[in-house]
């Protein structure tokens, strides 16, 4: 047996899980850069057109439900969201891939903004990735749910950390007032977006779980069958 044949045979004998290539996690960094870029254009270079991406509750444009999830009112608002976005976005992308991350971010962010538009006053403005971040948190917990004790421990650590931060934000919000942009009120902490983003994250996982998927073909078995036919 030649050296190339031995290597091929070893590759065939490896378990399918070991030979599966690792998914890249570049998508979360592009989302972070997009949030940072819009913030710099809005607050540093004062590009007026960025304000049109905010979600104005009195008369919203359809695209604002999505674009508002990439805009932020101030640096503290942005930095806290980016911290959680990196953690949970990376977890989701590792499990579901680049497309799954973007789908999760846009779907939960837009859904959270839609619920905020339905409930908050008409003089309010919704901006920020909070709804999408909480959606990513819910999705990252659900996709990692298994009886593996290491994954259960990881979920418990992430869960208690997020709940603790939400409680701190709720306590701090009592002494925080909204800022104003052109006569519109921008609430400092939008708990409606947090809760609805998490709920829609759960809904998205449930919805995708109902989609039938074909079992992956055993590539090693197919290669063996081809080799047997040619030999």
Q: Which domain holds residue 139?
A: 22-210
Q: Is residue 224 part of a domain?
A: no
Tell me the pLDDT tens digit for each residue of 145-200.
666 777 777 767 766 766 666 555 444 433 333 454 555 545 545 667 777 888 88
| CATH number, domain containing residue 140 | 1.20.1540.10
The catalytic residues are 130, 194
Q: Is residue 150 part of a domain?
A: yes
Q: Is residue 80 part of a domain?
A: yes
**Sequential DSSP letters for 87-121:** HHHHHHHHHHHHHHHHHHHHHHHHHHHHHHHHHS-
Lookup: tokens for 178: 């909204």
Rounded Cα–Cα distance for residues 185 and 179 (Å): 6
Q: Is residue 52 part of a domain?
A: yes
pLDDT band at 74 (very low <50, low <70, confident <90, very high): confident
Q: Is residue 167 part of a domain?
A: yes
pLDDT band at 50 (very low <50, low <70, confident <90, very high): very high
Cβ contact 57:122 at 8 Å:
yes
Q: Is residue 16 part of a domain?
A: no
Rounded Cα–Cα distance for residues 86 and 165 (Å): 16
Q: Is residue 227 part of a domain?
A: no
Q: Is residue 15 part of a domain?
A: no
Tell me the pLDDT tens digit for each residue of 17-32.
444 455 667 999 999 9
CB atoms within 10 A of CB 174: 7
**Nearest C-alpha neighbor of 189 from the set 154, 220, 213, 165:** 165
Q: How many domains does the chain have?
A: 1
């Amino acid at each position: 047996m030649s050296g190339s044949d031995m290597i091929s045979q070893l590759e065939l004998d490896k378990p399918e899980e070991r030979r599966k290539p690792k998914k890249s996690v570049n998508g979360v960094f592009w989302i972070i850069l997009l949030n940072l870029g819009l913030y710099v254009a809005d607050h540093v270079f004062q590009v007026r057109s960025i304000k049109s991406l905010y979600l104005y509750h009195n008369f919203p444009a359809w695209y604002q439900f999505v674009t508002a999830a990439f805009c932020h009112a101030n640096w503290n608002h942005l930095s806290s969201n980016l911290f959680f976005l990196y953690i949970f976005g990376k977890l989701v992308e590792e499990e579901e891939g680049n497309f799954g991350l973007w789908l999760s971010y846009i779907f939960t962010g837009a859904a959270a903004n839609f619920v905020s538009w339905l409930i908050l006053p008409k003089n309010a403005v919704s901006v920020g990735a909070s709804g999408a971040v909480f959606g990513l948190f819910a999705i990252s917990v659900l996709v990692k749910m298994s009886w593996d004790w290491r994954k259960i421990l990881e979920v418990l650590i992430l869960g208690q950390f997020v709940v603790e931060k939400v409680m701190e934000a709720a306590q701090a919000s009592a002494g925080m007032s909204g800022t104003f942009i052109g006569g519109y009120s921008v609430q400092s902490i939008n708990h409606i977006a947090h809760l609805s983003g998490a709920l829609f994250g759960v809904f998205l996982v449930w919805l995708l779980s109902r989609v039938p998927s074909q079992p992956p073909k055993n590539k090693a078995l197919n290669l063996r069958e081809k080799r047997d036919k040619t030999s």
